[in-house]
Amino acid sequence: MKPLVAFLRRHRWVRRLLVAWIVVGFAVGVYGMAFEPARLVERRHDLVLGDWPAACDGLRIDHITDVHTGSPHNGLDNLDRVIDRLVASDARAVVMTGDYVILSVFLGTYVGPEPIAERLRRLSARKPVYAVLGNHDWWKNGQHIRRVFESAGVVMLEDEARHTVLGRCPLWIVGVGDLWEAPHDIAKAFSWVGGSDPVIVITHNPALFPRMPARGSIMLAGHTHGGQISLPGIGQPAMWGEEESRYVVGHYEEGGEHLFVSPGIGTSILPVRIGMPPEISQLTLRSRR
């Protein structure tokens, strides 16, 4: 310890640099806990899909995920703000890809599915809402959450599919169960699909993407929170070594198949977001034809 103190006394620039790093670190920490998690951005994403039919070109869908109501800066008042934006949006439908409740988060408070469903009822009265459950939902009695959400008009799809027409676009919405906590029977989910209309797959965990059949036009997922922290030149440290680290956030195309991962709304474990603000992902699906 004494050699370090002596070194710092002899080198004023080192002391100043150390103090600067401490100040910067404190400021970034305050921003990541007090400001960015309280933001809400609406970000447009144009996704060009090779097999997307011309009749469905320009279809607008809003995608939200990992709402985690009860995490800091993310109580029912923030859910009201999210619902207001979704109701006012020009999207034909809303898809939700899991984790509506929160198992635990530092400084957070658990909020049950009933008050969440009350807010969703206002949205489902205006446009179709399709959803799957996430791992946190299953940890808090997924079947009960499903029933409560269905009573609010949300179409819950767990290894199931529903045919619909959005605007001029006939299509299938296929819901696949969570990778960690649900059966995630992809074959069963796709067994509902018939005809040649395009297929949008919704699931919680993007690690299922390599298993998506070619019949699926695009998979929409969440779970990663975009890593919650994204630093220039460093990436997402929280995702290093994770199974889902291959698909963290945004649009991926592999072998002609497409995946979109939304960064989500809430936080989990630590109530921090840096470089990855809460987002309503406004998707426009485009045809190459």
Domains located in the chain, CATH noted: 39-287 (3.60.21.10)
> Tens digits of per-residue pLDDT, 57-100?
999 999 999 999 999 889 999 999 999 999 999 999 999 999 99
pLDDT digits (tens, 9 = 90+) for 156-180: 999 999 999 999 999 999 999 999 9
pLDDT of 193 above 90: yes
Mean of per-residue pLDDT scores for the chain = 89
- Strand ranges (E), the chain: 41-49, 59-64, 93-97, 129-132, 155-156, 160-166, 169-175, 199-202, 218-221, 250-254, 257-261, 279-287
Q: What angle do CA 282, 283, 289 make, to 5 degrees?
A: 155
User: Which of 220, 122, 204, 124 is closest to 171 using CA atoms?
Assistant: 220
C-alpha distances (whole Å) from 156 to each of 57, 131, 173, 177 are 26, 5, 11, 10
pLDDT per residue over 98-127, tens digit each?
A: 999 998 777 888 999 999 999 999 999 999
Determine the distance from the C-alpha atom of residue 263 to the mean position of all C-alpha atoms in its chain, rounded to a whole number: 5
Report residue 229 as tokens: 């922290």
Quick count: other Cβ atoms within 10 Å of Cβ 79?
Answer: 22
pTM here is: 0.89
pLDDT digits (tens, 9 = 90+) for 12-66: 554 455 444 454 444 445 555 668 889 999 999 999 998 899 999 999 999 999 9
